[in-house]
């Protein structure tokens, strides 16, 4: 047989093998991309669930902050009218001390998984990526700075009260936690407490800080609700396809 015959034969065999290898790589890449896409979608579903849980937690935090502001207002009203008995005063001071220190801790585990698995970069919608990044990076940086200042302030507030008054509390134990709603007993409130400028100064400072923290929580609520609605619409569209 001629050389051209063998050349055509081997060329054809090479082409078949080459196309087989190429096809194998293509199938392998397709499977890997499908797996990565499934992983991304699963993590986005988990992120949606996590955000909905955080929205519930945020409502509890906002409720505590509102209680704190109410107690501060009651104490300032008492400073003008002197209408409360000592047990009620002790309750509201304890309420301010406990609830001014409350912080919001959003769950960040699923977001970290999105980053670590490179699934975050596979989110095609740039606006959604930006919103998620702002929530877990920019807003968290602001919150951490506010938490640190608030913790230092609350510690200073509690120390300032040590030689001004005393009271004891009964704390209700909950599953894996304790209630911040306490029962006050065995209290001693000096008659001159509301003439003390340091005490009143701490109350006004606490009020200001709680207002600022609530404003930050509004930004969290807005951001999380936007992302939640966005993820819900994506899920709905996927189900309809």
Range scoring the smallest mean pLDDT among 189-198, 206-215, 232-241: 232-241
Average pLDDT over the chain, rounded to an integer: 85
- pLDDT computed for residue 34 by the predictor: 77
Question: What's the CA gap between 138 and 118, in Å, rounded?
Answer: 20
SS3 label, residue 218? helix
Average pLDDT estimate for 200-219: 95
Average pLDDT estimate for 80-92: 91
Residue bearing the bigger pLDDT, 162 or 218: 218
3-state helix, strand, coil in the chain (%, to 5): 80, 5, 15
Residue appearing with tokens 């509004």: 218
% the chain with pLDDT above 70: 80
Q: Taking the domains of the chain in order of start, what are their residue ranges?
A: 3-240
Asked whether residue 20 carries a pLDDT value surpassing 70, the answer given is no
SS3 label, residue 178? strand
SS3 label, residue 170? strand
Question: What's the CA gap between 35 and 37, in Å, rounded?
Answer: 5
Q: Say which residues have a Cβ less than 8 Å from residue 204's Cβ, sequence separation at least 6.
A: none
- pLDDT computed for residue 169 by the predictor: 82
Question: What's the CA gap between 142 and 67, in Å, rounded?
Answer: 23
Average pLDDT estimate for 155-159: 90
- pLDDT tens, residue by residue, 214-226: 999 999 999 999 9
């Amino acid at each position: 047989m001629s050389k051209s015959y063998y050349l055509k034969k081997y060329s054809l065999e090479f082409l078949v093998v080459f196309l087989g290898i190429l096809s194998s790589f293509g199938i392998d890449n397709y499977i890997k991309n499908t797996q990565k896409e499934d992983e991304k979608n699963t993590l986005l579903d988990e992120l949606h669930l996590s955000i909905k849980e955080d929205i519930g937690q945020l409502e509890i935090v906002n409720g505590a902050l509102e209680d704190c502001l109410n107690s501060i207002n009651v104490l300032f009203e008492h400073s003008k009218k002197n209408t409360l008995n000592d047990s009620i005063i002790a309750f509201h001071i304890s309420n301010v001390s406990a609830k001014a220190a409350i912080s919001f801790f959003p769950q960040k585990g699923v977001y970290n998984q999105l980053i670590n698995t490179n699934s975050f970069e596979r989110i095609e919608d740039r606006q959604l990526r930006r919103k998620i990044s702002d929530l877990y990076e920019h807003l968290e940086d602001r919150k951490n700075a506010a938490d640190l200042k608030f913790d230092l302030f609350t510690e200073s507030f509690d120390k300032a009260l040590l030689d001004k008054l005393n009271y004891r509390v009964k704390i209700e134990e909950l599953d894996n936690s304790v209630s911040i709603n306490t029962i006050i007993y065995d209290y001693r409130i000096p008659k001159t407490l509301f003439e003390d400028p340091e005490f009143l100064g701490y109350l006004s400072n606490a009020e200001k800080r709680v207002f600022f923290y609530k404003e930050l929580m509004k930004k969290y609520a807005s951001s999380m609700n936007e992302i939640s609605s966005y993820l819900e619409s994506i899920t709905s569209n996927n189900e309809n396809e």
